[in-house]
Structure 1
Amino acid sequence: MSMNAPMKARDIMHADARCVPADETLDRAAEMMRNLDVGALPICENDRLVGMVTDRDIVVRCIAEGHDPSRVRAGDLAKGTPRWVDADAELRDVLHMMEEHQIKRLPVIENKRLVGMISESDLAKNVTDTQLAEFISAVFVPH
């Protein structure tokens, strides 16, 4: 890579991303999150990204609504089209997508497969202070 080549999603992502199967129960998804020390997992069905589940989703959309996390499937929380970025996307495009859609964690896809995740900590290591401040002000809005 030349010194002037723009940084790509693959350069900043963490590559050890794991999927929770869409048919897996939320109690198992929570165990995966604990074991991996993450707050969100991509939901995959037949090796395809179908959504994301966060620890907050499990609490707010399952437990707080009186549902049993051992009976609710991760796929039940997958709604809409999941946002993702191609591994060759430039850093500025990654930042733009995360800011525009207020996304804190972004799956990275290559050849239709999940190859990594980009989180705010990955950004913090790879962007300028100004870019990070803009990201934080765009994404971390008060409820």
Structure 2
Amino acid sequence: MKTIADVMSRDVTSVSPDESIRRAAELMEDLDVGALPVTEGQRLVGMITDRDITIRATAAGLGPEETQVAEIMTDDVCHCYEDQSTDDVMQDMRDIQIRRVPVVSRDDHQLIGIVALADLVECETDDSKTAQTLLEISAPLPAGQASTPL
């Protein structure tokens, strides 16, 4: 059985909650990613996505320099541990329809990596399970039900 440690990326860039959303957007552009973990020191405290910046800040008329990441980030973040099975994490991703999950240490919630759907697809030998995961993550939610952000 493969674990998250076998497939996760340990080279992860994060942003601080007190940084501007402009800085977060610049990092996303530089790294060509749509989401960043938010950390205080190395402790995971949230996630911010390009969608958060667009919907929660830009659409609300908040300025990119004066708005801090903490104001629009998601602080209730699904995360996993490096010793979890890839099957368990794929199920979690299906259940809450997310494509990437921060990996934290069990003892102190320190960010140690990130695992994306693409990482799991590369390691998966059962194509039907991978296809089912992608379908469930991408499926529209029932009317009135909001997706859980990263």
Q: Same fold (TM over 0.5)?
A: yes
2:1 matches 1:13: no
Residue number in structure 1 paired with 2:116: 119
What runs of 5+ residues in structure 1 fail to find an aligned partner? 1-5
More strand by share: 1
TM-score (norm 1): 0.89
> Displacement, 1:47?
2.3
Task: Report Cα offsets for 1:14-45 as digits up to 9, x if no partner.
Answer: 11111110111100001111111211000112
CA-based RMSD of the aligned residues comes to 1.4
Q: Contact 2:46–2:76 at 8 Å: present in 1 too?
A: yes
Residue number in structure 2 paired with 1:134: 132
Residue number in structure 1 paired with 2:91: 96
What runs of 5+ residues in structure 2 fail to find an aligned partner? 142-150
% identical aligned pairs? 36
2:81 matches 1:72: no
TM-score (norm 2): 0.85
> Displacement, 1:13?
0.8
Q: Contact 1:50–1:78 at 8 Å: present in 2 too?
A: no
Runs of 4+ in 1 over 6 A off after TM superposition: none
The number of equivalent residue pairs is: 138
Residue number in structure 2 paired with 1:3: none
Q: Residue type matched to 1:137 in 2?
A: L
How many Å separate the matches in 2 of 1:44 and 1:116?
A: 12
